[in-house]
Amino acid sequence: MNFVLDPRLESDSEFICDLNLSQVRLNLNAAFPWIILIPKKSELVELIDLEEADQTLLWHEMMKASHVIKTLFNPKKLNVAALGNMVSQLHIHVIARFAEDKAWPNPVWNSGATRQYEPTEKESILARLKLAFEE
Amino acid sequence: MNFVLDPRLESDSEFICDLNLSQVRLNLNAAFPWIILIPKKSELVELIDLEEADQTLLWHEMMKASHVIKTLFNPKKLNVAALGNMVSQLHIHVIARFAEDKAWPNPVWNSGATRQYEPTEKESILARLKLAFEE
């Protein structure tokens, strides 16, 4: 399989869990509840690069992630996106958005809204996410 | 079914074609080759609001749209996203991005990059898109 996580994705996020196809990671920008799914196959850039069976798996994992984020954070809106302009390795963002967040109603990318997690806060959100993905 | 297109989506885009689930429209911001899929069901806001059979249909239509945009425009990167912070009616963006476009490598939304289509240019791109979706 030879999956190697892009170094920028690795440094900007922290491991939550492995699903069948994707690794799920917490984006370390605490301004938004924000997770990232990275299919664990090499050489993937676009969604259409995935084989059909993996596309089905990924969709189910994106929907699972959407349900987890909705249940844990009760956002006004989910943002689900595969952009990859900065990091080409295929990755899918699932983000909880709120009318009172620092970027609303604009997208989170390039919004200037950033915050570091407090250590206990990060441990807590990671624990809640891990548990929710096990259910 | 009672599908009514959101007035803002309607005024910002032009009809390309109807697929089984989604209406496909051209975003009238000519700064980027940019199409939008709107599932023709009422009361949809999130991807997870779709029934499972419709999720499968939507995924296939998103991948069809991705192939069409890749084939016609040969972009450096596809951006595929369901955001909906401004217009809550569920809609999926499929956008061709280039290293030389006005927003690269940032997202297109809120980038300030806007351009109107020339009439003949718009007719041409609409005709090419309609044809590509028929194939």
Q: Is B97–A85 a contact, with Cβ atoms under 8 angstroms apart? A: yes
Token look-up 């009616």 returns: B89
Q: How far is A22 from chain B (nearest CA, A)?
A: 17
Can you tell me the ipTM of this complex?
0.97
Backbone angles phi, psi at A40, to 5 degrees: -90, 60
Q: Are B98 and B76 in contact (CB under 8 A)?
A: yes
Residues belonging to chain B with any Cβ–Cβ distance to chain A shorter than 8 Å: 45-48, 55-56, 59, 62-63, 66-67, 70, 77-86, 88, 97, 104-107, 109-110
Nearest chain A residue to B48, by CA: A63
Tens of pLDDT along A66-113?
Answer: 999 999 999 999 999 999 999 999 999 999 999 999 999 999 999 999
Q: Which of A55, A63, A83 sits opposite B107 (nearest CB)?
A: A83
Tens of pLDDT along B49-65?
Answer: 999 999 999 999 999 99
Q: Is A110–B109 a contact, with Cβ atoms under 8 angstroms apart? A: no
Q: How many CB pairs under 8 A join A and B?
A: 90
pLDDT tens for each residue of chain B, 135 residues long: 589 999 999 999 999 999 999 999 999 999 999 999 999 999 999 999 999 999 999 999 999 999 999 999 999 999 999 999 999 999 999 999 999 999 999 999 999 999 999 999 999 999 999 999 998
The pLDDT value recorded for residue A55 is: 98
Q: Which of B63, B84, B110 sits opposite A55 (nearest CB)?
A: B63
- Res. A1: pLDDT tops 70: no
Please state whether the predicted TM-score (pTM) of the whole model is above 0.95. yes
DSSP for A8-69, please give it. Answer: HHHHHEEEEEE-SSEEEEEESBTTS-EEEEEES-TT--SGGGS-HHHHHHHHHHHHHHHHHH
* In chain A, % of residues over pLDDT 90: 97
Tens of pLDDT along A12-51?
Answer: 999 999 999 999 999 999 999 999 999 999 999 999 999 9
Token look-up 């069409």 returns: B68
Q: Are A25 and A15 in contact (CB under 8 A)?
A: yes
Query: What is the rounded CA–CA span in Å between residue B88 and residue B50?
Result: 14
The residues that bridge with A36 in the sheet, in sequence order, are A25, A93
